[in-house]
Amino acid sequence: MCSAISRTKPVQRALALTLLLRPNTEGSSYAIAESRRFCSGVSPSIYPLRATSRSYCSRMALTEGLLFRQLFESESSTYTYLLGDTETKEAILIDPVLETIERDLKLIHELGLNLKVAVNTHCHADHITSTGLMKKRLVGLKSAISKFSGASADILLSEGDKIYFGKHYLTARETPGHTDGCMVLVTGDQNMAFTGDTLLIRGCGRTDFQQGCAKKLYESVHQKIFTLPDQCLVYPAHDYRGQTVTTVGEERKFNPRLTKSLEEFENIMSNLNLPKPKKIDIAVPANLVCGVHNV
């Protein structure tokens, strides 16, 4: 559950817990959407929570024995994900950010976790990863990224590779399009997918730099993500509107870009006219060497 729930009135808190625990039925998408109203950073009109940040948000994992935390970095609107085995305490970290390294290390220590792997879903252009510096602080920690990213890491991942932590694992799915080295990481039970910049909540990553290709991204989403179960929770690397999670079924039905034909999608992507990321000139070189370039 989100940390903000503890600050609500008892009736509101009970409602939030009911929505989060509701089984996956025909109303599951509604329940998930409603539960977002109780996450910090969102100000619903009916039950306003007046939260000021989303720096820390914990959610209940669907898989028995899986510890899960969703963390937020506000400058680049990046989500970092911590997953751990509650028995062995082995853990992995997805898309860590340099500016929040102290927060992440503190949480890992508080939870008594043994961080085995820090993995990046791709070579980011909007922030510097903390993976390199984190390796200097945690003995035995290994870095991981796609072998097609062009970046250095201890583990270079390919299609189907698995990252184990205790009895759990994530499977890598290659999803080029935003960059050549983009990956989606899927839990073994296919209940959760960490989609990086490939698929966002009601959006997707841009395709106008870093080997971007709209056709590849479209095919990646339809072949590697939309083939997952409808109820699979989708956790992106970014969100800019206070949203935290979606589902494969929701995006297959409501994503305003990826519900279009390929031709329509390519036209949309070629006319976004977005400014380049502010940190691209320092972030990309740094992330190609695990985040330790000139840091």
Q: What is the DSSP string of 8-49?
A: S-HHHHHHHHHHHH--SSTTHHHHHHHHGGGSTT---SSS--
What pLDDT is attached to residue 1? 40
The pLDDT tens digits of the residues spanning 195-235 come to 999 999 999 999 999 999 999 999 999 999 999 999 999 99
What pLDDT is attached to residue 62? 64
Q: How far is CA 205 from CA 111, 133, 217, 239, 274, in A?
A: 33, 27, 8, 11, 11
Which tokens hold the place of 42? 């969102």
Could you tell me the pLDDT band of residue 273, with boundaries at 50, 70 and 90? Answer: very high
Homologous superfamily assigned to 66-289: Ribonuclease Z/Hydroxyacylglutathione hydrolase-like (3.60.15.10)
Could you tell me the pLDDT band of residue 291, with boundaries at 50, 70 and 90? Answer: confident
Average predicted confidence (pLDDT) for the chain: 85
The residue-averaged pLDDT of 147-159 equals 97
What pLDDT is attached to residue 154? 97
Closest CA to 113 of 79, 80, 144, 87: 87
pLDDT at 51 over 50: no
Partners of 70 in the β-ladder = 57, 81
Question: What is the side-by-side strand order in the sheet with 192-196?
Answer: 162-165, 168-174, 183-187, 192-196, 233-236, 246-247
Quote the pTM value: 0.80
The pLDDT tens digits of the residues spanning 8-30 come to 444 444 434 333 444 443 333 33
The pLDDT tens digits of the residues spanning 55-107 come to 444 454 568 899 999 999 999 999 999 999 999 999 999 999 999 999 999 99
Please report, for the chain, the start and end positions of each structural domain, with discontinuous segments joined by +.
Answer: 66-289
What pLDDT is attached to residue 295? 60
Could you tell me the pLDDT band of residue 46, with boundaries at 50, 70 and 90? Answer: very low
pLDDT at 250 over 50: yes
Q: Which residues contact 202 (CB under 8 A, 6 or more apart)?
A: 243, 246, 251, 254, 255, 256
Could you tell me the pLDDT band of residue 294, with boundaries at 50, 70 and 90? Answer: low
Which tokens hold the place of 126? 């909007």
